[in-house]
Chains A and B, each alone.
Chain A
Amino acid sequence: MHPFTLSKAIDPASAISAAQDPHLAFIAGGTDLIGLMKDRAALPERLLDINGLPDMDHIEPTSDGGLRIGALARMSDVAADVEVRRRFPVISESLLFAASGQLRNMASMGGNIMQRTRCPYFRDEDGLPCNKRQPGSGCSARYGLNRTQAIFGWSDDCVATHASDVAVAFAALDANVIVHGTTGERSIPFTEFHCLPGNTPERDNVLRRGDLIVAIEVPARIEGRASYYLKVRDRQSYEFALVSSAVAVAVNTGRIMSARLAMGGVAHKPWRLIATEGELRGLSLSDVDALKAAIATSFTDARPLAHNGFKVELGQRVALRALQIAGGRA
């Protein structure tokens, strides 16, 4: 790795102030940042270790009945938390289907949603053209090997997908990212946190310089208990998603009262199936043809690349099965 200095953050205010420096990066679990530094895809001159910041690793109820998950809570602890498992199984499952036991013990929740794409061109040690890594250099994946890349929302400048699993669950549940910055605290709706690539693919999310993620808040959801995360990948375990789906559903006498669906592995951000959610309301969970038709409404604007056309069909099947399994839990 390149040389850098490291210091420890004492309190959020001094961390935010220090991070006005564009060459400084926060480090928590380090499981993504250290890999990026080894691949020279991130070259910060100064690291600020935020692991010692107080009260940022708790999982606690919020006043409105939701859950507040501290940004420094580890993936393992959130996945194993009894309240998370009981009220939002989709959060626990999406974490357990990610990475390995060792990495989940290290990786923080804030770092998880900040992780950068697994696009092999972005991670390439030889520095192939990548607009995310070197703006203006081009996108090697657009006309290269793009089997794992996006089918929704991509641009000619970037076709990468977001790699986080739990981010898909948070998007489905309309969670909020709680951020401290120079102007105080603000709450960012999860579905607005990550960006589409457009012509600035180097920008993954809407955070401003110095912003510190302190927590993710999940509002109380009647759909939370009947929720499920389905992940399809090239091997059964310890692999990123080809396609995944987080579904949470409220059911009354076999009919869908409300449904929330998001997909992973298909776009630069977790992809909500908003049109489908509207179409599903009132449908019987046993009317498979109607469920399929409702899901298809969100796939009419899919734009597959040369090698990932299979994701259009696979995505609809994954969404359907996740919906059926979640519905079976209602």
Chain B
Amino acid sequence: MQVSVTVNGSVRTLEVEPRMTLLDALRDELALTGPKKSCDRGECGACTVHIEGRRVLSCMTLAVMHDGQRITTIEGLERHGDLHPIQQAFIDYDGFQCGFCTSGQIMSAVAMIEEAKAGWPSAATTDVSQSFSVSDLSDAEIRERLSGNLCRCACYPNIVDAVAHVTRRS
């Protein structure tokens, strides 16, 4: 089947089998190896990308279901050679060791901050009936909201610090 997607700002047209996941299409057809294939079951978050600005797991969706949609991978996050503030914070706060989960962590964190700005509560929110703002993003909130991204090097304290640095500055 033919599918046309806008990936990191460029329109890309592919001929793929319906059974090809979006993750495999990005990695094997478009040579975008930032999204990582780790568990391939929606359990680890390493394949996180944005579809229409929302964080999703590219291993748990089919490429052909996204015709006409806008997809962003870690490769599309920098602007004119400048790293996204979350990318820079991961460097400054030593938010990784082996780095395999890092692109997923960063893509997840970037979209998570937008969710908080939109007022979305989380399972760490005491009273969901109250409004929520990005200034309510405590460390516990950040941990809960990023719980879908596993790190086997257990860099969690530094990841939380990196994300907290960006959210408290913004």
Contacts and interface: CB of A to CB of B under 8 A. Distances in A.
Interface of A: 1-6, 27, 29-31, 34-35, 37-38, 47, 49, 51, 76, 79-80, 85-86, 89, 92-93, 96-97, 99-103, 105-106, 225, 236-238
Contacts of B17: 3
Nearest to A237: B147
Interface string B98-139: 000000000010011001001111110101110000000000
A156 B120 CA distance: 43
A101 B148 contact: yes
A106 B59 CA distance: 12
A35 to B, nearest CB: 6
Q: Chain B interface mostly helix, strand, loop or mixed?
A: loop
A183 B112 CA distance: 43
B162 interface: no
A97 B129 CA distance: 15
Given A49-B65, A100-B148, A103-B42, A237 B123 contact: yes
* Size class of the contact patch on chain B: 35 or more
A26 B44 CA distance: 26
Contacts of A2: 19
Given A34-B21, A79-B121, A105 B62 contact: no
B108 A106 contact: no
Contact of A30 (B48, B61, B125): B61
Given A4-B19, A238-B147, A80 B118 contact: yes
Nearest to B24: A1
A80 B120 contact: yes
B65 A102 contact: no
A254 B122 CA distance: 29
A80 B115 CA distance: 9
Contacts of B40: 38
B56 A96 contact: no
B77 to A, nearest CB: 16
Contacts of B62: 6, 27, 30, 34
A102 B128 contact: no
Contact of A96 (B18, B21, B54, B121): B121
B41 interface: yes
Given A3-B19, A100-B148, A103-B42, 18 more contacts: A1-B19, A6-B1, A6-B64, A30-B62, A31-B60, A34-B42, A34-B60, A47-B18, A79-B120, A79-B128, A93-B128, A101-B111, A101-B146, A102-B48, A102-B148, A103-B57, A236-B147, A237-B147
B51 to A, nearest CB: 8
B37 interface: no
Interface string B38-60: 00111001001000001111001
16 contacts: A1-B19, A34-B42, A34-B61, A38-B41, A51-B65, A76-B115, A79-B120, A79-B121, A80-B118, A89-B129, A93-B128, A96-B125, A100-B149, A105-B55, A106-B61, A237-B143
